[in-house]
């Protein structure tokens, strides 16, 4: 199993600003996943972050809007840039060391 510490737990931000979400894992993992869950919707994969290489973004998500860092095998950050109210969502990081995906506690972001 894996334990993921994600922060902040929640934030209320002004439109046009940026927020960086951090995830720390208690073990080394090759891939970390970042998801968005809009109100009433399921989880949508934003990108997969590998240590030492550029993140792989899913269709509809771009690096300028959601830059990701992965400086080592236990840590990653996701930045939500130039926020608008449409970015209000829950953001989740996840790891899957052995086919079973584990999640951080989630960040509830509200953009006003």
Partner 1 sequence: EDKVVQSPLSLVVHEGDTVTLNCSYEVTNFRSLLWYKQEKKAPTFLFMLTSSGIEKKSGRLSSILDKKELFSILNITATQTGDSAVYLCAVGSTSGTYKYIFGTGTRLKVLA
Applying CB under 8 A, the residues found at the interface with partner 1 are 31, 33, 35, 41-45, 48, 56, 90, 92, 94, 96, 99-108
Provide, rounded to whole angstroms, the least separation between the CB of residue 16 and partner 1: 25
Residue 63, classed as helix, strand or coil, is: coil
Cβ closer to partner 1: 16 or 58? 58
Contact 105, 58 (CB under 8 A): no
Quote the least distance from Cβ 15 to partner 1, whole Å.
Answer: 22
CB-nearer residue toward partner 1: 28 or 56: 56
Q: What is the Cα–Cα distance from 60 to 89, expressed in whole angstroms? A: 16
* Minimum separation from the CB atom of position 33 to partner 1 (A): 7
């Amino acid at each position: 199993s894996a334990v993921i510490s994600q922060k902040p737990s929640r934030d209320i931000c002004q439109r046009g600003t940026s927020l960086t979400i951090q995830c720390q894992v208690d073990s080394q993992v090759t891939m970390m996943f970042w998801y968005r869950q809009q109100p009433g919707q399921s989880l949508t994969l934003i990108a997969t972050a590998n240590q030492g290489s550029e993140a792989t973004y899913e269709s509809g998500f771009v690096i300028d809007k959601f830059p990701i860092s992965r400086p080592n095998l236990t840590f990653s950050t996701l930045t939500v840039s130039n926020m608008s109210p449409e970015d209000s969502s829950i953001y989740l990081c996840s790891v899957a060391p052995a086919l079973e995906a584990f999640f951080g506690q989630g960040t509830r972001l509200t953009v006003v």
